[in-house]
Amino acid sequence: MIRVTKMAAVAALALAATVAAAQGDGFTKKFPLASCQFISIGGNRYFPLIPGRQLYYSNAACVAAGKCDELSELWITTERETKRI
């Protein structure tokens, strides 16, 4: 009888944990678009999204210091044109 009770308690806890995880999975499921204000410029200080801007990233300092073997370069270009949505 004790074994059945323990198994039932474990099953109940597992079910409760599954339900709790499904409800609070950290993902946004509703987006209140009516209260949003969209603008043509955005991003943050490390990745600014300004129309027509080009960003260049490289590991040249790492290669010069001998910490990296190969030079890697990345160019990111945002379009000049914006579209009202």
pTM, full prediction: 0.43
Q: What is the pLDDT of residues 8-39, one digit of tens each?
A: 555 555 555 555 555 567 777 888 888 887 77
How high is the pLDDT of residue 43? 76
Q: Which helix (H) or strand (E) holds 3?
A: helix 2-23
